[in-house]
Amino acid sequence: MNNTSEKRLLKSFQLTTPKYLAIGIILAVLIRLACVPNKSVDYKFFLAPWYDFIASHGGFAALKYSFADYTPSYLYWILISATLLSGLPKILAIKLFAMSVDFLCAFLTYKIVRLKYPQGRMPIFAFLAVILSPTVIYNSALWGQCDSIYTTGIVACIYFLSIQKQIPALVSFGVAISFKLQAMFIAPLLLILLLKKRISWYYLPLVPAVYVVAILPSWFAGRPISELLLIYFSQANKYKELSKNAPNLYQWIPNDFYNIVAPIGLILTVCVIFLFAYIVYKSRLEITQDRLIHLATLSVLFMPYILPKMHERYFYPADIFSIIFAFYFPRYRWVAIVVQLASFFSYLGTPIYIQLFSVPLAFTLWFVMRKCDMIFIE
């Protein structure tokens, strides 16, 4: 190809890329607006009643009551919805935050993929893959759930770690934790980075500090500090089910064995985390950008697969990181396809599909873990 042809191709690309992006964004917005009217079970029994409670108890003053089992960080948005956005339809006001964060998550995905491809349209495609992902749309626009929020905190954490900025990374992780405990799915990677000295131990207090700052407004409103600090302990004891539609290994174990299997699953998870961290630490290899993405994907995939008491939505971080993984390792795009399909069918709530998809998801987890030989072997 001569220089003239190359220049024409580059010019054509520069002209068409903004069109692809604009069309994708418009399509993503229209799909979300079409989904907004859907009233999920969670909306009817949790989100809408929380909104009504805040609206009928004086706005900010309502935060002193234990009317919801979510952390204050998310309830502040419900407060904004019920006060500042009261002119909007209730369902739109509630869903707006998570739907907006979908695009922030996509932008951070774009930034991470751009580190791999400084030139070209791969980062744009990664952005579009996130905002048009069925589970991303299902989670925020259809169900009104907020898994995109804490996941975006995790993605931001990985981005800042990628560019060697520890403080913003740990603050982002702290923000993620302040919304949902499931942000801990990235903990195996963070432990490895601590052992590898990519993260300094003396920065760790930033994580609980962010959580404490996040609960202060509720404390000022009058809610006991003990309740605010123990919210996650209360959540952990709420549901006595080995799996709530999550396509993991507990789909094959009857819930009658909950009291026996649940603690075993927790112990198993902790043991696997420390064993994996130890193996990577002993490998003495540098954590390159590719290895960072590989380990991040593995962390958020194996945690909800081997932990008991998981919901279908808890594979949301794996959905996002599998997309990033697909762009970093194009040969293994099928990993993202399997993860997305397993997650999507679990959202549909059909038991037979959830159980069936737990099998290819197990194979995918095994494959991603097996491919870590690029990490273990010099």
Which of 183, 198, 223 is where one domain is finished?
Answer: 223
Predicted structure pTM score: 0.92
pLDDT value, residue 13: 46
What pLDDT sits at residue 376?
Answer: 52
Q: What is the pLDDT of residue 61?
A: 95
Range of the domain at 45: 1-223
Residue 8 pLDDT: 55
In a domain, residue 231? The reply is: no
Whether residue 61 is contained in a domain is answered as yes
- How confident is the model at residue 50, as a pLDDT? 96
Structural domain includes residue 230: no
Are 122 and 253 in the same domain?
no
For 160-183, the DSSP string reads HHHTT-HHHHHHHHHHHHHH-GGG
Whether 29 is in a domain gets the answer yes
> What phi and psi values does residue 191 have, to the nearest 5 degrees?
-65, -45
What stretches of 194-338 adopt beta strand conformation (E)? 243-244, 310-311
Mean pLDDT per 10-residue segment, the chain (378 residues) = 50 61 94 96 94 94 92 95 94 96 97 94 95 96 94 98 96 97 95 92 95 96 93 80 93 92 94 89 84 96 95 95 96 95 91 90 92 58
Structural domains counted in the chain: 2
Q: Which of 190, 223, 256 is where one domain is finished?
A: 223
Same domain flag for 105 and 70: yes
Residue where a domain stops, chosen among 223, 249, 280: 223
- Whether residue 182 sits in one domain with residue 252: no
Average of per-residue pLDDT values in the chain? 91
φ, ψ (nearest 5 deg) of residue 75: -65, -25
Asked whether 235 and 310 are in contact (CB, 8 A), the reply is no
Characterize 183-214 residue by residue with b for buried, 16 or more Cβ atoms within 10 angstroms of its Cβ, and e for exposed: bbbbbbbbbbbbebebbeeeeeebbeebbeeb
Residues 243 and 326 in one domain: yes
pLDDT of residue 10: 45
Report if residue 234 sits inside a domain. no
Q: Do 181 and 258 lie in a common domain?
A: no
Q: What is the pLDDT of residue 69?
A: 87
Strand, helix or coil for residue 21: helix
